[in-house]
Structure 1
Amino acid sequence: MSNDLDIWRSLPARQQPSWPDQEELAAAFAELSALPPLVTAPEVRSLTDRLAMVARGEAFLLQGGDCAETFAANTADKIRDKVKTLLQMAVALTYGASTPVVKVARIAGQYAKPRSADIEASTGLPSYRGDAVNDITPNAQARRPNPKRMVDAYHQSAVALNLVRAFATGGFADLHKVHEWNKAFVRDSAAGRRYELMAVDIERALAFMAACGIDPDRTAALTGVEMFTSHEGLLMEYERALTRTEESTGEVYDLSAHMIWIGERTRDLDGAHVDFLSRVGNPIGCKIGPTATPDEVVALTERLNPDHIPGRLTLIARMGAKRVRDALPPIIDKVNAAGHPVVWSCDPMHGNTRDVGGVKTRHFDDVLDEVFGFFEVHKGLGTHPGGLHIELTGENVTECLGGAEMIGEADLGGRYETACDPRLNTGQALELAFLVAESLQQARVERDTHTH
């Protein structure tokens, strides 16, 4: 990767806050630059290796978490519940599709959000851009962009990451505890009951292994998991400050997270975000919306992964249920024809947002329809539907309509807690995982049939 890390400063940088005090910004940048990295370069390379398996069709990527993390919600209980939900989904996918799952959480850094307008129409105030920039409280002082909040975001991320690591490797993620991951409010739902039946089967399999003389307690893959972190690389000063050169190799990595993605609003080929992230060694994601042309996407892949490294680039389609079947195939065709070994992932959330009485929501049926459309497209092209990228929470919220719980418009006000976009609750997320597992299993059977 090139060391010209500051060329981005001369390029258009979209979705950046209007920092009112440049001295405050410089001080925050200097403080962040002196702090230890949040993740390590070997961990980042491990994720690239895992994603290379996905690119080859040997694994599946599960990426999920909050739309926008908040400092107030960065508690042990909420972090634990998000990890639980991801573990449940991963087990459902692994067991149902006989496929290894690469687990990447939207956690420990998702504190900044792009917005469609600088000024909020309903209040006339500067838009809330995430806790790393300003406060959601609707008054002028709270909405003033404050660079010191980026330093706060770093410390909040460190706290969350520490707990995620402990949960992943300290016994909490032990497969023997598969029943304990099922929350009480999910247990009586259709997805929860299905999960319990699967958990019983897993327990029987573990007992069988023990009876055969294989000690599951000494098998690392059963007693802990790899869980990587990710966020949108939106705030250029924050990402640049946490970028480091590895002394032993000379390689450059953005060590604010294992994986960084570029959003639909900031993927300009000649913009600051694409230039900067093309120069770091992390796995990079790039959101691709329905207006993207095949030529644009090929140009992006060539810019972000010129050496065709498997696992380096994940293209995250966010087309919307009505567009995915038409808009995605020519893009996949063009990228594949150019020989790019990308991971194809589906974000079924952002293209399906609707307004109900001034409240942002999504319908589970639309989310499902886009996922099924994504699988249909890949089936038709003979390519691997490699991943799922969703906004979810471990809480029993009522932010997305539908699902087995039949959340209706009248229910939206019950527990609508998101700081930005509506998230799937645990029951909806688990229901989605089972349905995706069935689609993956079907795709695998068909691929094996054609192979033989």
Structure 2
Amino acid sequence: MNSPQGSMRENGSWTPASWRLREAQQQPCYDDRAQLENVARRIGKLPPLVTSGEIQELKRALADAQEGRRFLLHGGDCAESFGDCDADTIVNRLKVLFQMSLILGHGLKQPVIRVGRFAGQYAKPRSSDRETVGGETLPSFRGDIVNAAAFDAAARRPDPERMFQAYAFSALTLNFTRALFEGGFGDLRHPEYWQLDWIDQSPRAIEYRREVEEIANSWRFLHTLGGQVGTERVSAGFYTSHEALLLPFEEAVTRRVPHRRGWFNLSTHLPWIGMRTSDIDGAHIEYFRGLQNPVAMKVGPSTRPADLLRLIEVLNPHEEPGRMTLITRMGCKHIAEALPPLLAAVRRAGRHVLWVVDPMHGNTETTPTGIKTRHFDNIRSELEAAFQIHGAEGTRLGGVHLEMTGEDVTECLGGARSLQEQDLSRAYKTTVDPRLNYEQAMELAMLITKVARAAPKVTGRAAAGPRPVAVI
């Protein structure tokens, strides 16, 4: 990619391609640029995956979350694979997402915004451009949108055609998801339809079933009071999200919409920026600053308060409600020291953002046998600390960001069944980062409601109470 030409803020001009004048990190090296541009043009002519109306709807919901009227559940796979685009996998992902949202909504007494890391989460950043195994060095695996995981030269070659495949698999996933909802999958009056087979074997089965029964009783009570509630299907909405990492692809899906101002990324509702691509003078920030979508950005322990304020100013100069979500991923060992200065700086500057905690990424570790994992106790520790710190700083924690799956995987240690290192090999399926399995994810949802209720209460503007609502 080309290098930056002067200061990033020389003028306010922006196009979906203006990122090309900046230094772009985490981009694969394609050996056929003409093929890359041809694939991008083909994608640019395809029907969009989401609508601008849905995007604006999500932005309004996130604005409510900023004011304490909603809670964001942002979760899904670390990286989708083309091979997982099947009905059972998609249904199980949705089931665990909505089961968690039921628990959260009922426990927090707030509507939950459900945003899935799916239908586009095909690209992954890597710590190195190349990987060496057995003396052979090849390009690193950067997700199915770029290359394949198998360690051979043909599989690891970055292939532009994979962008087209990623778009097609995203469309298939969204099409099936929308069909499920049209068929009543999201009917909140029947949470029992969302149950996974694991529940009878779980040590937390009794606690979970008690929660479900309380929710069902709440709906029956509403039906008794209102009469009309039971005659219409009450659906739980959903939105999609992915890390907008592969910029040629993101440029191709960025379009104008009739009768709306500006440009929209129409491949997802909530694109987000990872820590490796958050350089204020870099290509990703340049791309993101021109979008009308709400945007999210990961924030880590090395982020300095002054730099964070500059990034917020670039990405949300007009203080648009619902525009800016900050996802903190500090690690349980660093959160007490690293998070308070950032919260204080943003609060003193009067910037309004949605704070979300990612208790996963800062707690990644490698076992003595070389397996990448995370321990549930560390995830829990960071989550509890985040609620406490926000309360102490007078800010509001309005959401959680998790890597999880609806499958019976063994990738994270601990949890209700106390998974040990020897258990990891039983069902370790991820090609990138370890995920919570369905049982651990549900356990975490129940934990969040308890921790949130026990955390210090925020007062003032940020603590605006929930509006009366009839949905969870």
Matched with 1:136 is 149
Where 2:148 maps in the other structure, the secondary structure is coil
Matched with 1:187 is 200
Could you say if the C-alpha distance between residues 192 and 20 of structure 1 is closer, same or farther in structure 2, counting changes exceeding 3 Å? farther
For residue 412 of structure 2, what is the amino acid of its counterpart? C
CA shift at 1:336, angstroms? Answer: 1.6
Alignment of 1:261-280 (within 5 A): 261-280=272-291
Are positions 1:228 and 2:239 aligned together? Answer: yes
Question: 1:401, 1:407 within 8 Å by CA — same for their partners in 2?
Answer: yes
Could you say if the C-alpha distance between residues 100 and 444 of structure 1 is closer, same or farther in structure 2, counting changes exceeding 3 Å? farther
Question: 2:391, 2:456 within 8 Å by CA — same for their partners in 1?
Answer: no
Alignment of 1:265-414 (within 5 A): 265-356=276-367, 357-414=369-426
Are positions 1:88 and 2:81 aligned together? Answer: no
Are positions 1:433 and 2:445 aligned together? Answer: yes
For residue 178 of structure 2, what is the amino acid of its counterpart? R
Matched with 2:165 is 152
Q: 2:109 aligns with which of 83, 98, 103?
A: 98
Could you say if the C-alpha distance between residues 260 and 442 of structure 1 is closer, same or farther in structure 2, counting changes exceeding 3 Å? same
Are positions 1:202 and 2:200 aligned together? Answer: no
Question: 2:394, 2:458 within 8 Å by CA — same for their partners in 1?
Answer: no
Question: 1:209, 1:216 within 8 Å by CA — same for their partners in 2?
Answer: yes
Are positions 1:168 and 2:168 aligned together? Answer: no
Where 2:153 maps in the other structure, the secondary structure is coil
Where 1:416 maps in the other structure, the secondary structure is coil
- Cα distance in 1 between the residues matched to 2:182 and 2:319: 32
Question: 1:63, 1:388 within 8 Å by CA — same for their partners in 2?
Answer: yes
For residue 41 of structure 2, what is the amino acid of its counterpart? A
Return 248-257 or 342-351, whichever deviates more. Answer: 248-257
CA shift at 1:440, angstroms? Answer: 2.2
Matched with 2:252 is 241
Alignment of 1:59-70 (within 5 A): 59-70=70-81
- Cα distance in 2 between the residues matched to 1:170 and 1:28: 34
Q: 1:124 aligns with which of 130, 134, 137?
A: 137
TM value normalised by structure 2: 0.92
- Cα distance in 2 between the residues matched to 1:323 and 1:15: 26
Structure 2 runs not aligned, ≥5 long: 1-11, 466-472
Where 2:131 maps in the other structure, the secondary structure is coil
Residues 332-380 of structure 1 show CA distances to partners (whole Å, capped at 9, x for unaligned) of 1111211211000011111111001111000000111111111111010
Matched with 1:217 is 230
- Cα distance in 2 between the residues matched to 1:408 and 1:157: 35
Residues 93-127 of structure 1 show CA distances to partners (whole Å, capped at 9, x for unaligned) of 01111111111000000000000011113352211
- Cα distance in 2 between the residues matched to 1:169 and 1:383: 38
Are positions 1:9 and 2:20 aligned together? Answer: yes
- Cα distance in 1 between the residues matched to 2:68 and 2:118: 26
- Cα distance in 2 between the residues matched to 1:265 and 1:193: 42
Return 119-128 or 35-44, whichever deviates more. Answer: 119-128
Question: 2:392, 2:456 within 8 Å by CA — same for their partners in 1?
Answer: no
CA shift at 1:5, angstroms? Answer: 2.8
CA shift at 1:137, angstroms? Answer: 1.2
Question: 1:168, 1:227 within 8 Å by CA — same for their partners in 2?
Answer: no
Residues 164-214 of structure 1 show CA distances to partners (whole Å, capped at 9, x for unaligned) of 223334311212321232212133323332221111122222223333352
For residue 319 of structure 1, what is the amino acid of its counterpart? M
Structure 1 runs not aligned, ≥5 long: none
- Cα distance in 2 between the residues matched to 1:451 and 1:342: 14
Give the superposed CA RMSD.
1.8
- Cα distance in 2 between the residues matched to 1:451 and 1:80: 35
- Cα distance in 1 between the residues matched to 2:458 and 2:291: 38
Alignment of 1:32-43 (within 5 A): 32-43=43-54
Residues 301-339 of structure 1 show CA distances to partners (whole Å, capped at 9, x for unaligned) of 001000111210100001111111110111111112112
- Cα distance in 2 between the residues matched to 1:451 and 1:10: 42
Question: 2:15, 2:290 within 8 Å by CA — same for their partners in 1?
Answer: yes
Where 1:124 maps in the other structure, the secondary structure is strand
TM value normalised by structure 1: 0.96
- Cα distance in 1 between the residues matched to 2:126 and 2:447: 32
CA shift at 1:230, angstroms? Answer: 0.2
- Cα distance in 2 between the residues matched to 1:343 and 1:418: 29
For residue 40 of structure 2, what is the amino acid of its counterpart? F
CA shift at 1:445, angstroms? Answer: 6.2
- Cα distance in 1 between the residues matched to 2:15 and 2:108: 43
Question: 1:231, 1:261 within 8 Å by CA — same for their partners in 2?
Answer: yes
